[in-house]
Amino acid sequence: MAEMTTLLAEPRSAVGKGANRALRRTGRVPGVIYGEGQPQQLVSLEARALRRELQNARFHSSLLGVALDGAQLRVLPREIQLDKVTDEPIHIDFVRVSAGATVHVEVAVHFLNEEASPGLKRGGVLNIVRREVELVCPADSIPEFITLDLAGADIGASLHISHVPLPEGVRPAITDRDFTIATIAAPSGGADEAEGAEGEAGAEGTAAG
């Protein structure tokens, strides 16, 4: 697991649209921390620091620290509201995460060995059904990504979550079916084109022999 990032926060007491607008004019973003059966904590964060962290593609699935009033809280980002015009963050929700907790997170899928896929070599197309998969995992062991190996996948192949090796203690949130991650589709000319390309390759091999 990557080193946990810590965001500096300050408590806030004023609520409402007017108070939040005033807070944002000072370069801060209002937020709330909830969960674990504890009262909500109203906070604000420096807008510049939050924008920097939002550049991380894994921000929504990363365990974070929030430094508040001398304490360090462990949280996960839950909902971020962005300005419709500027895309600047205008509010953020965090959920508390206690030691030993299990969390639901969306984790990116990385595809390996495309060059070793017979289907892709023959002009097939990788049709990605899910670029991210919701996983249930220990908060302290959230994987950065999961991998799907395409080696040996031919045209017509359907690759499911069962083809993905998951770390110990990690499981898919969907448990009632072996859902599809990706397929290898025929090229735009259809299966006949792929078969023709294969035949041409075989003929070339014969001639070369």
**How much is the pLDDT for 95?**
95
Number of Cβ within a 10 Å radius of residue 85: 6
**How much is the pLDDT for 57?**
84
**How much is the pLDDT for 190?**
52
**How much is the pLDDT for 154?**
97
Encode the chain (209 residues) as per-residue pLDDT tens digits. 456 889 999 999 888 889 999 999 999 999 999 999 899 999 999 999 999 999 988 898 889 999 999 999 999 999 999 999 999 999 999 999 998 899 999 999 999 999 999 999 999 999 999 999 999 999 989 999 999 999 999 999 999 999 999 999 999 999 999 999 999 999 875 544 444 434 433 333 333 33
Q: Domains of the chain (ranges plus CATH)?
A: 5-98 (2.40.240.10), 103-202 (2.170.120.20)
Backbone angles phi, psi at 139, to 5 degrees: -60, -30
Establish how many alpha carbons lie within 13 A of residue 177's alpha carbon, considering only the half-sphere containing its beta carbon: 3
Q: Burial-class residue 108 by CB neighbours within 10 Å (0-12, 13-18, 19+).
A: middle
**CB neighbour list of residue 34: distance below 8 Å, 6 or more residues apart:** 40, 41, 93, 94, 95, 96
* One-letter amino acid for residue 142 of the chain: I
